[in-house]
Structure 1
Amino acid sequence: MSPEPTPVLAAGAVCWRMVDGKPRVLVVYRAGHADVSLPKGKVDPGETLPETAVREIREETGLGIVLGAPLGTVEYTLPNGREKVVYYWSAEVNDHDLALAKFTPNDEIASVEWLTIGAVRKKLSYEHDVDVINRFAKRFKAGNARTFPVIAVRHGKAVDPGTWDGQDATRPLLQRGMDQAAGIAKGIAAFAPERIISSTAVRCLSTVAPLSELTGIPVKPTEAISQDAYEEGTSDVPAVIAKRLKRKVGAVLCSHGPVLPRIIAELAARTETEADAQLRRAASLNTGDFTVLHVSLRHPRRGLVAVETHSPA
C-alpha cells in the first residue's frame, strides 16, 4: 500500500484596517477560480509558514504586512484528492503600508477590495474562509485584535559540551546550527520585532545574528537570561519580562533549553495565563525552534491571545 500523500501547506492572512471606526477586511477576486477568497498561497521549499504568509500577501496584493496573532487553520480536499491545510494570521495594515502598496491585476488575482466584516461574510465563496473571518471578528470584539509578540528562541545546534575544552558560554554553533539560525530569520522577521535580546553565550548570539543582519536591529546581550547565570542563581528573568510587558513592543529573547521554561512561565504569570499543556510544549523547544507569544495591547493581563511554535525551514 502506498503511503498517504503529505498535505499541501499554505499560509495567508486576514488583512484589516480601521475605516471610520470600523474594521475593513481585504478580499481578493481570483480570475482563474472565479471566486472571492482571503489572500493566501502555498509554501515554497525552505520557507517557514509565517514567511510564506508575508510573501504571498505581498505577491497577491502588493501589501507589505506584519503578522499579528494566528487565527488557526482550515483544511479541505483539493480536486485531485490531496488534502490542503492553510494557516492564517491577522495582519493590521496601517495607512503608510497601504500607501506603499502597488496592486497590479494579473492572471491569478483580478482585483482586491476592502469590505466590512458583514460584507465579507456575504462575498466569500467558501464557508471555511467565513469561519476564519468569524474567528477574527470574535477576537476584535474582545478587544484583542491588536497584539505585540514576545518571541522565545532556543539557540541553534552547538558543539557538544563533552567535546569542548573552553568555557561553556563560548561553545560555537555547528554548521547545522548556523543553518537553523539562517532558516528562522525571515520567519521571526514576519512578526516585526523591535528588540533582539540574547544570552551572552556565543551560541545564542550567533543564532540571532542573521536576524539582526536582516532587520538592522542590534542585538542586546544580557546575562539575565544566560544559562550560566540561571544555574548560578543570578539570572533575572522577571525583570526582563516585566520590561517587555511595560514597553509593549515586539521582542526576541534568545536563550537556552533550561531557561526558556522559566521565561515562558514568567510571561504566563504576568499575563495571568493558565500554565496548560500548550504552554509547556511551547517552552520545550528543540534547538533552532522559536515560540511566539502574542500579548494583547489593550488587555495584557487577561491571558495570552495566542501561542505558536515554529521550526527552522
Structure 2
Amino acid sequence: MVLRRREGLFEVLLVHRPKYDDWSFPKGKLDRGELAPVAAVREVGEETGLAVRLGRPLDDQLYVVQGGRAKVVHYWVARTLDGDDVSAYVANREIDQVAWVPVDEAAALLSYARDRATLQQAVKRRRRTSTLVVLRHGRARSRERWRADDRFRPLLRVGEQQADRLVPLLGAYDVTRLVSSSSTRCVTTLVPYADATGRRVVTDDGLSEEKATDAGVAERIGALVDAAKRTVVCSHRPVLPAVFDALGLADAHLEPGELVVVHHRHGKVLATERHAVH
C-alpha cells in the first residue's frame, strides 16, 4: 500500500524490515478466506499502527520469490483516518522503523526497482478520487417459493453471512453513505455495516425492482456521483444494468453479494475493482 500525506511536502510511509535490511511499502499476507482490500488495511494497521482507507488501485506487482514461486502483491493509494503520527511506534522483529518520507527521498531509499515503479505510478495518481460501491444484495429466498409481497422477501442464512462479511470490505474504503433499494433483501444486506459504523441506511423506492426506471436510476446515480461522498448503492440484478449505464460502464452481471468499487473524479470513472463475499 502506498500510504501518503501532504504536510508542505508530498510524503509516503515506508517501513524497514530488519530480516531483509530493506525499505519498502507496508504490506502482508492474506489470512485464509480474506479479501485483498481487507488484508491491506489490516496489515497496515498491524505494521504501522495507523488506521487507513483505500483509494484508487495501483498495478499489481508480480515477481518470483525464493523457491521459484510467483508472488502477486496488490497495491492501492491510501490515506490515514485518525491521524498519521508514527512517533510512538514500537520496533519489533518484523518492522523496526516506520517513517514518513518525502517522495524524492523515498525513490532513493526504496530497496527495489518494482517499489520505485509503484511509487512513480502513485505520484501520477496523487489526486483524490471519490468512491461509489455498486452492490448486489446477498443471496435471498427463492422468488418462486415466496408467497408474500416480493418487496419483503428476506435473505437466506447464507445471504445474512454475506452481509456480515461485507462489513470489513466496505470498511476498507471507509464507506460513509449507505443507499439501498427499499426492498428487505437489499436493506438487510447493509444493516450489519450500518450497525458496525453507526451509519444509517437510506432507502429509495426508485432503486427497487418495482419502481426503478432507467431515467430515474440515471438521475439518482448522477446525484450520488456529484456529491462525491464514499457511497455504497445496494440494488437488484434487473436494476443494476441501469446503474452501470449511468456510470458509463458495461453491466458487470454481479452475483448475489458481489460488488464493483468505482473510483471517480469530477464525474469521470478512473478505475474499478470487483470483489465478492461468500
Question: With structure 1 as the length reference, what TM-score do the two structures score?
Answer: 0.84
String of CA shifts for 1:22-64, please: whole Å, max 9, x gaps: 3101110001121111100101123221111111111101111
Paired residue for 2:64? 77
* Identity within the alignment, %: 35
Q: Structure 1 residue 130 and structure 2 residue 95: aligned? A: no
Aligned residue pairs total 278
Q: Supply the AA of the counterpart residue of 2:238.
A: P
Per-residue deviation at 1:238?
Answer: 2.4
- The structure carrying a bigger helix percent of its residues is 1
Contact 1:64 1:101 in 2 (8 A): no
Q: Structure 1 residue 56 and structure 2 residue 38: aligned? A: no
Shift of the 258–101 alpha-carbon distance from structure 1 to 2, 3 Å rule, reads: farther
Q: Distance in 1 between matches of 2:277 and 2:153?
A: 21
Contact 2:214 2:242 in 1 (8 A): no
Q: Distance in 1 between matches of 2:186 and 2:69?
A: 40
Match of 1:280 among 250, 262, 267: 250
Structure 2: which 5+ residue stretches go unaligned? none
Contact 2:86 2:98 in 1 (8 A): no
Match of 1:292 among 254, 261, 271: 261
Q: Distance in 1 between matches of 2:59 and 2:276?
A: 17
Q: Distance in 2 between matches of 1:71 and 1:265?
A: 25
* Residue pairs, 1:151-162, within 5 angstroms: 151-162=133-144
String of CA shifts for 1:246-282, please: whole Å, max 9, x gaps: 32211110001121121121123xxxxxxxxxx426x
String of CA shifts for 1:158-215, please: whole Å, max 9, x gaps: 1111111112211111111111111122111111111101101111111111111111
Per-residue deviation at 1:234?
Answer: 8.4
Per-residue deviation at 1:235?
Answer: 7.2
Per-residue deviation at 1:93?
Answer: 3.1
Query: Over aligned residue pairs, what C-alpha RMSD do you find?
Result: 1.8
Per-residue deviation at 1:100?
Answer: 8.1
Paired residue for 2:231? 251
Paired residue for 1:47? 34
* Residue pairs, 1:71-150, within 5 angstroms: 71-93=58-80, 96-99=82-85, 102-140=88-126, 145-150=127-132
Per-residue deviation at 1:229?
Answer: 1.1
Q: Distance in 2 between matches of 1:69 and 1:214?
A: 24
Q: Structure 1 residue 15 and structure 2 residue 3: aligned? A: yes
Contact 1:224 1:236 in 2 (8 A): yes
Secondary structure (helix, strand or coil) at the match of 1:291 reads strand
Q: Structure 1 residue 167 and structure 2 residue 146: aligned? A: no
Structure 1: which 5+ residue stretches go unaligned? 1-12, 269-278
Q: Supply the AA of the counterpart residue of 1:107.
A: R
Q: Supply the AA of the counterpart residue of 2:134.
A: A
String of CA shifts for 1:54-88, please: whole Å, max 9, x gaps: 11111101111111111121111221332211111
Q: Distance in 1 between matches of 2:15 and 2:86?
A: 18
Q: Distance in 1 between matches of 2:190 and 2:59?
A: 27
Contact 1:195 1:251 in 2 (8 A): yes
Q: Supply the AA of the counterpart residue of 2:262.
A: L
Q: Distance in 2 between matches of 1:195 and 1:100?
A: 29
